[in-house]
Chains A and B, each alone.
Chain A
Amino acid sequence: MSRQIGRSVDPKKVSGELFTLTYGALVSQLIKDYENEDDVNKQLDKMGYNIGVRLIEDFLARSNVGRCHDFRETADVISKVGFKMFLGITPVVTNWSPAGDEFSLLLENNPLTDFVELPDGHSNLSYSNIMCGVLRGALEMVQLDVDVRFEQDQLKGDNITEIRLKFIKRLEDAVPVGED
């Protein structure tokens, strides 16, 4: 009840700029800690994964979407509900592979990279790699094993930021020993 009194600003919300800057500080600290940029990418992916496996529950609880019937529906939900809910953007779903098991999310502006300029010599760094981890972790919890990577990145001079998702397999529910 106490939360409803004097609720001019939602106390759970932080400014988007604070979020972006905090993420920037995190990445630059990781770069200091791990000289090798592949390791930084790996760490970001791991952090994202750990976020994703929890974030999915918040997503399911708030969005009330049920299980998707195919990967196309999944793609739509990721872009129109997921990204919208957590980052306030709606990436374009495109570049479907002929088999329908691979697609791209095009981000016109990536909230993680506002105010960011990559200095020279960071060609291996995938700055927003945390997003790949989040997507991977969240989808794993709904029984989808996917491969996620950055294909293009505006930070590296590309026209658009592109995240590529590839469906690998459906994970089956674990069944205790003795059941078929």
Chain B
Amino acid sequence: MTIFNLYIFDRNGTCLYYTEWNRRNQSGISKEEEFKLMYGMILSIKSFCSRLSPTDLKDGFLSYRTSKYKLHFYETASGLKFILNTDINAGNMRDNIQQIYSNIYVENVIKNPECKLGQQITSELFQTKLDDYIRSLPQFATKLS
């Protein structure tokens, strides 16, 4: 199992943070273009889900899986969006993303007055903490099984 990459978008669609670990295939377009496409797709899936749902949906769209990868989506009530791509064997990553939000993002970005809201995160502390956390996850193990 392994983890490919992570996107963090704010409520305005700005990509606050992007990082990748074992990503072997690049999309061949600029990162900005890729962020836009990713955000647009998430927004469309979200609105599609809520339109199709017969009942009032609570969390809505959580993840999807293709034959090659699995995309996990987590959105906070404040509109912050976390998108984590893993391989298809990773189970439910929701708790892990929640951990990233409450223990890493809030502690190191929100509570850091040097980090301006709505702008790209450049804090090294945040980057290190996030990297350590992701690498410590059992899902990260890169051994091919």
Chain A contacts to B: CB under 8 angstroms:
53-54, 56-58, 60-62, 65-67, 69, 141-143, 173-176, 178-179
Q: Chain A at the B interface: mostly helix, strand, loop or mixed?
A: loop
State in angstroms the CA–CA spacing of A67 and B36 once bound together: 26
State in angstroms the CA–CA spacing of A53 and B12 once bound together: 14
B103-127 interface (Cβ within 8 A of A): 103, 105-106, 110-111, 117
Q: Chain B at the A interface: mostly helix, strand, loop or mixed?
A: loop
State in angstroms the CA–CA spacing of A176 and B102 once bound together: 27
CB-nearest residue of chain B relative to A180? B47
Which residues in A have their C-beta under 8 angstroms from that of B11? 141, 173-174
Known pairs A58-B110, A173-B11, A176-B13 / 20 extra A-B pairs, C-beta < 8 Å:
A56-B78, A57-B78, A57-B110, A60-B77, A60-B78, A61-B76, A61-B105, A61-B106, A62-B102, A65-B77, A66-B77, A67-B77, A69-B56, A141-B78, A142-B77, A173-B79, A178-B40, A179-B40, A179-B43, A179-B44
B82 at the interface (CB under 8 A from A): no
What's the minimum C-beta distance from A71 to chain B, rounded to whole angstroms? 15
C-beta contact mask, B63-93 vs A, less than 8 Å → 1, else 0? 0000000000000111110000000000000
